[in-house]
Amino acid sequence: MKLSIFLIVFVSILGQIDAFVGRRLWQYRQQVEEVRRKQVDSQLQLLYKHKGYKQSPVKTYYLKQPLDHFNALSKELGKTYKQRYYVNAEYWFGPKSPVFLYIGGEGTLSSRAVEAGEIVDLAKKHNALIVGAEHRFYGASLNDDGLQLEELQHLSSQQALADLATFVNHIQKEYGIPDSTPWVSFGGSYPGALSAWFRLKYPHLVVAAVASSAPVQAVTNFEGYNEVVAASFKSDLVGGSQECLDMIKKGFQTIDSMIADGKYDQLRTDFKSCNMLSMIPDQVLFVSNLAGYFMGVAQYNNEIPGQNISHVCKVMLSTSDPYQNLITLNQESLDQAHEPCMDNCFMNYTSSFANTTVDKNAFGPGIRQWTYQTCSQFGYYQTCDVDTTCPFSHLMDLENSDIQMCRDVFKIDTSDVDVNVQFSNDYYGGNHTQQSKIIFVNGSIDPWHKLSILTNQTTVGSYSVFIPGTAHCADLSPQHDTDTVELKNARQEIASLVGQFLEEAYTKKF
């Protein structure tokens, strides 16, 4: 059996988005990244040894990009940044073979993005050149002053798409690729939305797009996120049940009652809080951190060994006391993170958004940058309002979400966030795209599918691939023996559509 099928995809292949969920979901995501990085590094080492390679075939380059594509004066003043990108020509047959573009998102893009996963499997089949472009203001594609507030005005999806257009032209010149050669874009989560939008706004540059877990509908108050989390913990497809969901709800109801009764010291002791919980912001962060663990398990189901919906439900049903079961899960989460206590200090939390120190060698998400993008374009604030099916604390409402960071950190009035969100939907069309040959791929237990496109849009020729029982960006990972039948069938459908679009491009039917 080929070694390549055992490769586990690196974080840059599965972009994720998080708005306000406290510190815990950010930590959970970073733990997922670390697991993926170690797995893919070890597996690629074995693969390259098997092939007789002394080093990776992927090359790393930097492209000077304008800081503002839409301001001629900015270009005259020479305001630029260097965009990191990767090239994998291992399967490429030459200038007439297609080019597959992997789009980076709200975090560091690793070379692993063009070394493993669905894009590589399809590149082998179609002899494609694979290129990956890191998103401006993330990873190494960031100026030394890039996190300063006055510089963040140049961080937007529109500027990122313009970067991609310039990048396509650059690759064409560097590799002698004619305009007639078809390009296909790939991305997952926010980069999945970028992939769809690149096809929408630059159809002359990209003939088709794969948009996995793509939240193309911007929304300020994202109530649907935790409604899907609730449905996921109820789903028997992944080891959930109604009884499990009920126990989660009861556990958080007990905590809300204890907060209302002023039992802060007991909560601090039971859940090993590093700090007192007498202040309301710290209480909100506390319940958000607890909920963040469940949200992380649902969004990244099975990404961390032993951490999945089935396991959580076993613990939640292990005794008749839901409060005690929450304590047990919280301890597991602390042990997993190698932390003696949970930092529920709101002031400590906000400091991560105000940090303007640039570390180009860091892996993981750009918390400050991404939060700015939620304020300036997308919203996506995951709440737990009373009139929803959310099983967590109702202290997690919009007023207590990261939307307050817009005002306090980025000087964007909270009333303007709705305006910014509406503009994004008007500019891109939300979840009613008017462009053909876009494949929207979503998993049923992924909370972000609520903001994607879930049905075929036959009038424009876009397609939906919906996968029961799978989580965030599951299709982008490499094939594995443990893949469900539904996931295998979905990959075949995606491969068939990509092949169809390429054939149409080569025969000039598009």
Output the pLDDT for position 21: 54
Output the pLDDT for position 479: 82
What tokens were used for 391?
């099983």
> pLDDT at residue 35 above 80?
no
One-character DSSP codes across 24-50: HHHHHHHHHHHHHHHHHHHHHHHHHHH
Q: What is the pLDDT of residues 436-483, one digit of tens each?
A: 999 999 999 999 999 999 999 888 899 999 999 999 999 998 788 888
Domain count, the chain: 2
Question: Which of these, 299, 296, 272, 300, lies nearest to 286 by C-alpha position?
Answer: 272
pTM of the predicted protein model? 0.93
- One domain, residues 405 and 268: yes
Q: What angle is formed at CA 39 by the lines to CA 229 and CA 62, rounded to 5 degrees?
A: 95
Confidence band for 24, pLDDT divided at 50, 70 and 90: low
Confidence band for 352, pLDDT divided at 50, 70 and 90: confident
Question: Which of these, 133, 128, 102, 125, lies nearest to 182 by C-alpha position?
Answer: 128
User: 2 versus 448: which is more confidently predicted?
Assistant: 448
Specify whether the CB–CB gap between 201 and 183 falls below 8 A: no
- One domain, residues 325 and 226: yes
Q: Establish if 295 belongs to a structural domain.
A: yes
Output the pLDDT for position 5: 31
Output the pLDDT for position 130: 98
- One domain, residues 159 and 253: no
Confidence band for 510, pLDDT divided at 50, 70 and 90: very low
- One domain, residues 301 and 174: no
Is 19 exposed, middle or buried, given 0-12, 13-18 or 19+ CB atoms closer than 10 A?
buried
Give the end of a domain, one of 379, 394, 423.
423
Q: What is the pLDDT of residues 356-373, one digit of tens each?
A: 999 887 766 788 999 999
> pLDDT at residue 88 above 70?
yes
How many CA atoms lie within 13 Å of 474's alpha carbon, on the beta-carbon side? Answer: 32
- Of 13-22, 176-185, 407-416, the range with the lowest mean pLDDT is 13-22
- One domain, residues 259 and 308: yes
For the chain, give the percent of residues with pLDDT over 90: 76
Q: Establish if 242 belongs to a structural domain.
A: yes
- One domain, residues 169 and 277: no
Output the pLDDT for position 119: 96
- One domain, residues 391 and 466: no
Q: Which of 189, 288, 376, 462 is catalytic?
A: 189
User: 361 versus 422: which is more confidently predicted?
Assistant: 422
Q: Which of 126, 273, 472, 477 is catalytic?
A: 472
- One domain, residues 70 and 111: yes
Q: Establish if 146 belongs to a structural domain.
A: yes
- One domain, residues 287 and 394: yes
> pLDDT at residue 131 above 70?
yes
Confidence band for 15, pLDDT divided at 50, 70 and 90: very low
The question of whether 472 is a catalytic residue gets the answer: yes
Report the CATH number that the domain containing residue 346 is assigned in CATH: 1.20.120.980
Quick one: average pLDDT of 49-61?
A: 84
Report the CATH number that the domain containing residue 493 is assigned in CATH: 3.40.50.1820
The question of whether 446 is a catalytic residue gets the answer: yes
- One domain, residues 127 and 231: no
- One domain, residues 142 and 83: yes
- One domain, residues 141 and 229: no
Q: Establish if 24 belongs to a structural domain.
A: no
Confidence band for 9, pLDDT divided at 50, 70 and 90: very low
Q: What is the pLDDT of residues 132-152, one digit of tens each?
A: 999 999 999 999 999 999 999
Q: Establish if 79 belongs to a structural domain.
A: yes
> pLDDT at residue 77 above 80?
no
The boundaries of the domain holding residue 203 are 58-217+434-506
Distances (CA, A) of 103 to 87, 232, 389: 12, 28, 34
DSSP E strands, 67-115? 80-88, 99-103
Specify whether the CB–CB gap between 309 and 298 falls below 8 A: yes
Q: Which of 18, 446, 475, 483 is catalytic?
A: 446
Output the pLDDT for position 391: 97
Q: Establish if 41 belongs to a structural domain.
A: no
Confidence band for 40, pLDDT divided at 50, 70 and 90: low
Q: Establish if 428 belongs to a structural domain.
A: no
